[in-house]
Structure 1
Amino acid sequence: MTERITKKRVTMMDVAKAAGCSQATVSVVLNNITDIKISPDLRHRVLESARSLGYGRGSPILRGALEGLRGSCVGFIVDQLSTTPEAVNAIEGARQASWSDDVTILVAQTQGRAEHERKALACLLQAGAQGLIYMSIFTRRVSLDRVFQDLPMPVVLLNCYTGEQVFPSVVPDEVSGGRQATASLIAQGHRRIATIVGENFMEAAQDRLAGYRQALAEAGIAYDDALVVSGNWTPTSGYEATRKLLALNAPPTAIFCQNDKMAMGCFTAAAEVGMNIPHDLSVVGYDDDELSRHLRPQLTTLELPHRQMGAWAIAQLARKVERKSHRTHKVTCAMVERASTAPLGQPFRTVKPRAGAITDHT
């Protein structure tokens, strides 16, 4: 049986709940904002709660050791900031890993245009940046302008890589993630496992599908084209793909949706035909989008590790490694286990809306 890995990301909201205060108060304390008055007792309570929960690698809770960057600034260039939370999470991971060493992170959005990147670099150099993190919002191979080769500071690539691999780079391990999602369903006895893939020109979709196929092969389950349906990452595509899958003569008992938005559409399609999740249909998502906590039941999913990737990038900058051939570093996508999966054929209990009586079903 495959071991299921569960990981819960500690957030400021978790710290606030433990400390008995607001998230805004936690932010003030952990960012060491001194012009807002917080009582010593409350400040101590927040720091102790954060420490006990393990929040933030490099906050006032745990002093860092980034001697090569201490007191300096670091540039963070990204093609898109506003479309998804991944860039913000990566920046937050970099900030958490460096704030105790008084590192300032300067962020520029360039839309992937070389002329914007050159202007951003000029501003960063003028500001005295001691390192640069270059991020692509989609995991992919990038071709960087020659100016990046001539920079007088270390460069680390986040969520992307170059063919020459002259810079350290870090990406999510999407193959392992797809394998883990599928293996978790196999471990619960499912054999008719479908997957709804994203746009197949994207590396994330290709790799998650490769992981799905790998898990099936390891379990001795034959790959079935009918159980693989294309989507485009949207709730509507997840809804339409699920309708197709449930219309099969032998429909799946579990579906691995390759992002949480498609899983949301999957939930809607299942509800329309009277299916109960997870007892009639188990569903796993991917990304650990905020919406995964608001679906009912809450969605089991995999977390994209952009915070960890941001922290790793900062550590690489501090090392000031030489420009040579670097193997791309891959970070595991941890599984966040919630309530949208169940063992195949398991009896379940539901609460009747009005009477409140509990009835067993098989």
Structure 2
Amino acid sequence: MMEVASRAGVSQATVSLILNGSPGAKFSDDTRRKVTTAAKEIGYRPVQRGLPQVALATNQIAFVVDELTSDPWMALAFEGAREFALQQGVSVSLSVCRGGKLLDEDLLREFVHQPVIGFIYGTILTRRITLRGPFENLPTVLLNCYDGKRQLASVVPGDVEGGRKATQRLIAAGRRRIGFINGQDGIDASSDRLRGYRQALASSDITFDPDLVYNGNWEPPSGHDGTRAFLALDAPPDAIFCANDLMAIGCYEALKEAGLRIPQDVSVIGFDDREVAQFMRPPLTTLVLPHFDMGAAAAEHLLDIVGGLPTRHSQIKVECELIDRASV
């Protein structure tokens, strides 16, 4: 599988999801074609998993999250894990750590006695964590988070590559002065998407200008404020990359207030592919935050561990697909 991924230029998780036909996995036709062609060229066939001989009552994965909010990300990840696991005859139960604590003591005591084959532990924000309790004694895969010592496998979004891909799309449209409205400073997603933005500029010989980076807070007003700040520059941008779709909403409003057209005067690209993106006017070009696919990849990796397949503690980065609409 690693050889197929290398030949196709994608992640191992992408190869797995495509070749196993995981329902709901979102990949472009080009990506699917690259993977299937590479697999055919080297004669690869997906591994047939076999769970250890355990009682049916223990064929359950515990999916634990630090919180469920109005954002859909952890719910999507749970659905991805549940659908993949069900194909293997395994159920997935969802639990939330109460009170906003990293690990609730009552929750830990519950899983000491609950018959599960392993854990998927997910966080609403991509971040570094430290786990203890039953997670030390049963197979565990981290979702949207990672441990500093890399002792546990983790599945995270490919935010650096996503930031690069978004910026390259604007450059391909002929834009050379590209503003970036980022999320909160100090957040992994913010730093990774900024890194991808800078990499894309460097690869196209465009000088990085710190005046074209505005730190927002993921909400529409900061997208509005960041855009107004860009437009006040002596040389305003001809394109704006917003680190999430909500800030792109505010960006749209500021551009329209200034009498500027999207994309004729200023191209805009977002990140997340929230449902609202397709209903913006013009519809927003954006990147998918692949939590459904991440959940499926986490469940697959956990079942590989439980089934005794050779694995290594690694970090799997899942591709953020570009959804090209009309704002670029």
Confirm or deny: 8 A CA contact 1:165 1:325 kept in the other structure. no
- The one-letter amino acid of 1:243's match is R
Q: Give the distance between the partners of 2:24 and 2:217, measured in 1 at CA.
A: 34
1:67 matched residue in structure 2:
50
Q: Give the distance between the partners of 1:132 and 1:97, measured in 2 at CA.
A: 15
Q: Give the distance between the partners of 1:65 and 1:255, measured in 2 at CA.
A: 46
Confirm or deny: 8 A CA contact 1:166 1:324 kept in the other structure. no
| 1:315 CA drift (Å) | 0.9
2:83 matched residue in structure 1:
96
Confirm or deny: 8 A CA contact 2:119 2:135 kept in the other structure. no
Q: Give the distance between the partners of 1:260 and 1:173, measured in 2 at CA.
A: 17
Change (3 A) 1:324 1:101: closer
Confirm or deny: 8 A CA contact 2:162 2:319 kept in the other structure. yes
Confirm or deny: 8 A CA contact 1:66 1:315 kept in the other structure. no
Q: Give the distance between the partners of 1:138 and 1:302, measured in 2 at CA.
A: 17
**Are 1:200 and 2:188 an aligned pair?**
no
| 1:54 CA drift (Å) | 7.6
Which residue, 271, 286, 290 being the options, matches 2:256? 271
2:38 matched residue in structure 1:
none
1:239 matched residue in structure 2:
224
Which residue, 323, 327, 340 being the options, matches 2:314? 327
2:272 matched residue in structure 1:
287
**Are 1:218 and 2:203 an aligned pair?**
yes
**Are 1:158 and 2:146 an aligned pair?**
no
Structure with the bigger percentage of helix:
2
Change (3 A) 1:228 1:56: closer
SS of equivalent residue, structure 2 residue 222: helix
Q: Give the distance between the partners of 2:50 and 2:112, measured in 1 at CA.
A: 20
2:101 matched residue in structure 1:
113
| 1:146 CA drift (Å) | 4.6
| 1:83 CA drift (Å) | 3.4
**Are 1:144 and 2:106 an aligned pair?**
no
**Are 1:85 and 2:68 an aligned pair?**
no
**Are 1:339 and 2:322 an aligned pair?**
no
SS of equivalent residue, structure 2 residue 200: helix
**Are 1:310 and 2:310 an aligned pair?**
no
SS of equivalent residue, structure 1 residue 223: coil
| 1:145 CA drift (Å) | 2.2
SS of equivalent residue, structure 2 residue 265: coil
Confirm or deny: 8 A CA contact 1:65 1:101 kept in the other structure. no
Q: Give the distance between the partners of 2:64 and 2:49, measured in 1 at CA.
A: 21
Change (3 A) 1:162 1:325: farther
Confirm or deny: 8 A CA contact 1:167 1:324 kept in the other structure. no
Gaps of 5+ in 2: 1-20, 26-46
Tell me which structure has the larger Cα radius of gyration. Answer: 1
| More moved, 173-182 vs 323-332 | 323-332
Confirm or deny: 8 A CA contact 2:153 2:315 kept in the other structure. yes
1:189 matched residue in structure 2:
174
Confirm or deny: 8 A CA contact 2:182 2:243 kept in the other structure. yes
Confirm or deny: 8 A CA contact 1:231 1:241 kept in the other structure. yes
Structure having greater relative contact order (Cα 8 Å, sep ≥ 6): 2
SS of equivalent residue, structure 2 residue 192: helix
Q: Among the aligned pairs, what percent are the same residue?
A: 44
SS of equivalent residue, structure 1 residue 320: helix
SS of equivalent residue, structure 1 residue 333: coil
Q: Give the distance between the partners of 1:78 and 1:90, measured in 2 at CA.
A: 10
Gaps of 5+ in 1: 1-52, 58-63, 342-362
